[in-house]
Amino acid sequence: MNEIYARDMLVGFCKMLYDRQLTVSAGGNMSMMIGDSEILITPSGRNKGLLEPEDLVLIGTDGNVLSGGKPSIETGMHLALYNLNYETKAIVHCHPLYCTSIATKNKNLKTDLTPEGVLLLGKVPMIPYHTPGSKELVDAVAANHESNAMLMARHGAITQGRTIEEAYNRMEELEFQAKLQIVTGRAKSLPWEEVEKLTRM
């Protein structure tokens, strides 16, 4: 993918995440692959709603910084997922209110209340709390690299996809499912037969 186009695209999705209150202020980080060995990632400590294309940092899949700027402290988490999942081309990590509420309570997120939750997300693991940016957090996320989406205890959420749109859609769906779970209380899941059918789809 052309780097100039990729910068514009990633910044556009960062603004969408901010405008839809899926992330706030400097929280979270987003990235996408361009080519086989380069990644664009959001810079450390910057408001995601105010980013410009030139603010994004170019890094290699080996972690070397290839442009100006300081990459997110969560870069290791992104690199681990890219290096473990060949199909992953984009990652979204942010702190949506309802997802983070469930993660703060260390509750399991139910994705089988609606068909869309099953289809887009599958099972969502809860990653135990580790300090943001730490090797322990990177290792814990890497251990669940096959999951489309994850919650991180007292931290937030992370999704991955074959495109930035798919990663974004999963984050939006993840927050919807978290809100639905909180709003509906003890609503029953879909019958397991239906969940199995949807999973096979």
Is residue 88 within 8 A of residue 81, CB to CB? The reply is yes
- Which residues have a catalytic role annotated? 74
Residues 6+ apart with CB under 8 A from 151: 99, 102, 103, 109, 124, 125, 126, 127, 157
Q: In angstroms, rounded to a whole number, what is the distance separating the alpha carbons of residues 36 and 72?
A: 20
57-60 β-sheet, strand order: 57-60, 38-41, 29-33, 90-94, 156-161, 149-152, 126-127
What DSSP line would sit under 137-151, residue for residue? HHHHHHTTTT-SEEE
